[in-house]
């Protein structure tokens, strides 16, 4: 079977979470081979060597891709949204031209079931496949429609299957920086807002309850499904659990019902790969 290519962008603050995410992939996708691409600006040489060794021990190959952060000097950056979050938007420019498809995953994710059916998804000639988190009432969707003056869904950028050839054709740095200059004061989730403002017409919608399950919204999913999407359903059917927002499952006083599952994978990392924890 063809190798699945995974892209993540992060800084030193998310190295452990990156390892937990990769371990969850290894545990639930035993028949597949993965190439891991990590886009970064300032991960230290020692951390890079440790990551390469850890990923090799999983049986995968890690490609460290250094990105020049200066191109984002005008972009809004907050403590919780570092410059690295923008790297995914121009990934087609710095990834090898031989790569034509890649699956971007945020590091605050667990992969709890096989992911190949997403990797082989028919994208119906769209540039990106992603999910939208609409909540129970859709109020946030309405607000975003007003903000961006369109009727498109608002897509979460934490899980994106990307056609890199189309990304190279359509995604331009000048368009992104112009949008940032124009709407900087309106941007709430900066890179995600830019993604939706510029490219939502080119995104294929995929089911959030399977491919990008916001773990804060379990009651929403349960209610909207009339009780069918419960915890056993998630464990059997959901592929990607996304720990959006705060507090994160590795932080203290976390009441998220899926935090214990995250702690389980964290413990597996500690027990089986302690030298890399």
Domains of the chain: 4-276 (3.90.550.10)
Which residue in this structure is represented by tokens 């946030």?
140
Which residue in this structure is represented by tokens 């056993």?
232
**If you average pLDDT over every residue of the chain, what do you get?**
89
The span from the first CA to the last CA of the chain, in angstroms, equals 31
- Quick one: average pLDDT of 226-247? 94
pLDDT digits (tens, 9 = 90+) for 214-225: 999 888 888 888
Give the pTM.
Answer: 0.92
pLDDT-derived band at 147 (thresholds 50, 70, 90) equals: low
pLDDT-derived band at 158 (thresholds 50, 70, 90) equals: very high
Q: What is the pLDDT of residue 277?
A: 85
Q: 60-75: string of b/e by CB count within 10 Å (b at 16+)?
A: bebbbeebebebbeeb
Q: What is the pLDDT of residue 136?
A: 41
Q: What is the pLDDT of residue 78?
A: 60
pLDDT digits (tens, 9 = 90+) for 28-47: 999 999 999 999 998 999 99
pLDDT digits (tens, 9 = 90+) for 55-82: 999 999 999 999 987 776 767 776 665 7
Give the C-alpha separation, 237 to 258, whole Å. Answer: 15
pLDDT-derived band at 135 (thresholds 50, 70, 90) equals: low
Closest CA to 107 of 168, 17, 39: 17
pLDDT digits (tens, 9 = 90+) for 159-194: 999 999 999 999 998 898 888 878 777 777 778 888
Is the predicted pLDDT of residue 139 greater than 50, yes or no? no
Closest CA to 72 of 62, 60, 85, 61: 85
Q: What is the pLDDT of residue 80?
A: 60
Give the C-alpha separation, 61 to 141, whole Å. Answer: 39
Strand partners, 162: 102, 128
- Please, are residues 273 and 54 in contact by the beta-carbon 8 Å criterion? yes
- Tally of CA atoms within 13 A in the half-sphere of 113 that contains its CB: 17
- Please, are residues 277 and 251 in contact by the beta-carbon 8 Å criterion? no
- Quick one: average pLDDT of 183-210? 89
Q: What is the pLDDT of residue 182?
A: 81
């Amino acid at each position: 079977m063809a190798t699945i290519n995974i892209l993540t962008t992060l800084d030193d603050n998310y190295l452990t979470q990156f390892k937990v995410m990769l371990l969850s992939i290894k545990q639930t996708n035993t028949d597949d081979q993965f190439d891991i691409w990590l886009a970064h600006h300032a991960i230290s040489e020692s951390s890079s060597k440790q990551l390469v060794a850890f990923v090799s021990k999983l049986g995968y190959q890690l490609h460290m891709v250094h990105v020049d952060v200066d191109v984002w000097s005008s972009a809004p950056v907050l403590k919780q949204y570092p410059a690295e979050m923008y790297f995914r938007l121009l990934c087609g420019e710095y990834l090898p031209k031989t790569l034509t498809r890649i699956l971007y995953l945020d590091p605050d994710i667990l992969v709890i079931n096989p992911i190949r059916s997403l990797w082989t998804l028919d994208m119906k000639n769209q540039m990106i496949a992603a999910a939208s988190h609409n909540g129970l009432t859709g109020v946030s969707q309405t607000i975003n429609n007003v903000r961006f003056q369109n009727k498109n869904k608002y897509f979460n950028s934490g899980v994106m299957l990307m056609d890199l050839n189309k990304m190279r054709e359509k995604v331009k740095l000048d368009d992104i920086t112009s949008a940032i200059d124009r709407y900087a004061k309106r941007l709430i989730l900066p890179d995600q807002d830019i993604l939706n403002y510029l490219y939502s017409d080119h995104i294929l919608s995929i089911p959030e309850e399977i491919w990008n399950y916001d773990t804060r919204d379990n009651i929403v999913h349960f209610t909207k499904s009339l009780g069918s999407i419960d915890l056993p359903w998630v464990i059997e059917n959901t592929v990607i659990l996304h720990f959006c927002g705060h507090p994160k499952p590795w932080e203290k006083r976390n009441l998220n019902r899926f935090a214990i599952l995250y702690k389980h994978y964290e413990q597996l990392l500690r027990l089986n790969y302690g030298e890399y924890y």
